[in-house]
Amino acid sequence: MAMSTGGNAGGPMSEINVTPLVDVMLVLLIIFMITAPLMSHRITVALPTANPKVADSEPVEPMDLAVKADGTMYLSDVEVTEAELKAQFAVAAAKAPQPELQIRADKTTEYKIVKKVLGDAKDQGMVHVGFITTGKE
């Protein structure tokens, strides 16, 4: 019995026929090329143009709140009570544009004090709140 050692005389073909794949892709490409212009917006609206180089107004001075470890609070280096702080938050929240509240809390301050300040700021309508920290110690 003679064995053939060369080629794929009777074995399965290992080549992939890509002609049907190319045909399908070309048909899909033509379909998308025809339908893409039809998907434009039918209702026209005059859109505003943005000019990032023009500033709306002067920058607003942020509110600086310092909270010591014992719970005393200083708004712009002036000691304030909780009621005075709420009143200041209400006044600042009504301004347009609203100033940012920057909180500097001592690292040993209890979290419940900072949480109370955040809750008061939110209740009065403050939306821009940030924390000031130092770099690596």
State pLDDT tens for residues 27-82.
999 999 988 877 776 777 787 787 776 555 678 889 999 999 999 999 999 999 99
Angle made by CA atoms 63, 66, 67, in degrees to the nearest 5: 135
Q: State the pLDDT at residue 100.
A: 92
Query: pTM of the prediction?
Result: 0.57
Contacts 24+ apart (CB under 8 A), 23-29: none
Give the mean pLDDT of 93-112.
Answer: 91
Q: Which of 73, 68, 69, 136 is nearest to 101 (CA)?
A: 73
The amino acid at 30? I
State pLDDT tens for residues 112-123.
999 999 999 999
CB neighbours of 116 closer than 8 A, spacing ≥ 6? Answer: 82
